[in-house]
Amino acid sequence: MSLETKPLSGSLGAEILGVDLARLEGPEFGQIREAFLEHHVLVFRDQKLTPEQQIEFGRLWGELFIHPIVPHLPGYPEIVPIVNSGKRRSLTEIWHSDVSFSAKPPMASGLLAVTLPSYGGDTIFANQHKAYDLLSEGMKTMLDGLRAIHSGTGLASASGKRDAWKEHGQDHPVVRTHPETGRKALYVSPAFTVALEDMTLEESRPLLGYLNEAGHAPDVCYRHRWQTGDLVLWDNRSVQHYAVHDHGKAERTMHRITIMGDTPR
Ligand code: SIN
């Protein structure tokens, strides 16, 4: 059976229609994998997944990543509950690619909408291949071979775990090459990238600032309006995301799984 794929914007994102992720067949998974590499963000509506079923779906993609800092759902170390802890304490209202401060950041994340506010709480995704492609040839040449330091210290501190990964930093290429498609993508973010390697903070700031702006221009973005039961799967090697906190104290609970990735190159 051929699945229906409906693109959601000119830059990235597609809805996959007519599939129950709790009962996936081998050929369907092959088609989903192809769509994932083409569209980078996949939306599956109306999925009634238990934590076990979400974990099982994640394992089809690879080994699951256990988050080193953020607490997990009781009894399910593979699932991170994302809850509304208030705008000032939000850890996700900032552009990022998940856990990029680790040596082998997760290749993909899958977020299930469990409880939603009556309005707001959207998530914006930005296509980092397109952002790279839109740079001038001169800028691309300059970025070639540059590396940047990613740090989880801010996240550890904001999570109340000052000692976790305290001095942890990991360098990665500023432009990474997708291991499956060979496409190049920007790989720096305001959340975790603190400096360019072999440069001072002052020297790093203007270039990182420019790349952060280019990486999130409106024409490389897709904004997802959640419905309960949505499972959104994104490719952390291709996109960054930003959870908009505009819903006050209203409950918004999401369950996230992340799938192990490789060393960015
Ligand atoms: C995340 O940053 O992984 C979660 C995004 C969201 O809650 O929309």
Instruction: Tell which one of 256, 257, 258, 259 to mutate to probe ligand 1, the residue whose CB is within 8 A of the most ligand atoms.
Output: 256
pLDDT confidence tier of residue 71, bands split at 50, 70 and 90: confident
CB distance 82 to ligand 1 below 6 Å? yes
Measure 173 CA to ligand 1 centroid, in angstroms.
24
Higher pLDDT, 27 or 223: 223
CB distance 230 to ligand 1 below 6 Å? no
From the list 67, 98, 224, 230, the catalytic residue is 98
CB distance 241 to ligand 1 below 6 Å? yes
Predicted local confidence at residue 226, as pLDDT: 98
| Distances, alpha carbon 152 to alpha carbons 28, 36, 174, 177, 192, in Å | 36, 27, 17, 22, 6
- 159-192 pLDDT, tens digit per residue, is 665 555 445 679 999 999 999 999 999 999 999 9
Flag whether pLDDT at 212 surpasses 50: yes
Predicted local confidence at residue 1, as pLDDT: 59
Please compute the mean of the pLDDT values over residues 79-95 and round it to a whole number. 90
Measure 121 CA to ligand 1 centroid, in angstroms.
10
Clarify whether 256 is annotated catalytic: yes
Give me the percent of the chain exceeding a pLDDT of 70: 94
Measure 123 CA to ligand 1 centroid, in angstroms.
7
Please compute the mean of the pLDDT values over residues 246-262 and round it to a whole number. 96
The residue whose CA has the least distance to atom 2 of ligand 1 is 92
Please compute the mean of the pLDDT values over residues 10-35 and round it to a whole number. 94
Clarify whether 241 is annotated catalytic: yes
Predicted local confidence at residue 26, as pLDDT: 81
Q: Residues 53, 124, 106, 35: is their CA dihedral positive or negative? A: positive
Predicted local confidence at residue 166, as pLDDT: 46
Predicted local confidence at residue 159, as pLDDT: 62
Whole-number average pLDDT of the chain:
93
Please compute the mean of the pLDDT values over residues 54-62 and round it to a whole number. 97
Flag whether pLDDT at 106 surpasses 80: yes
Instruction: Tell which one of 82, 99, 100, 223 to mutate to probe ligand 1, the residue whose CB is within 8 A of the most ligand atoms.
Output: 82
Clarify whether 147 is annotated catalytic: no
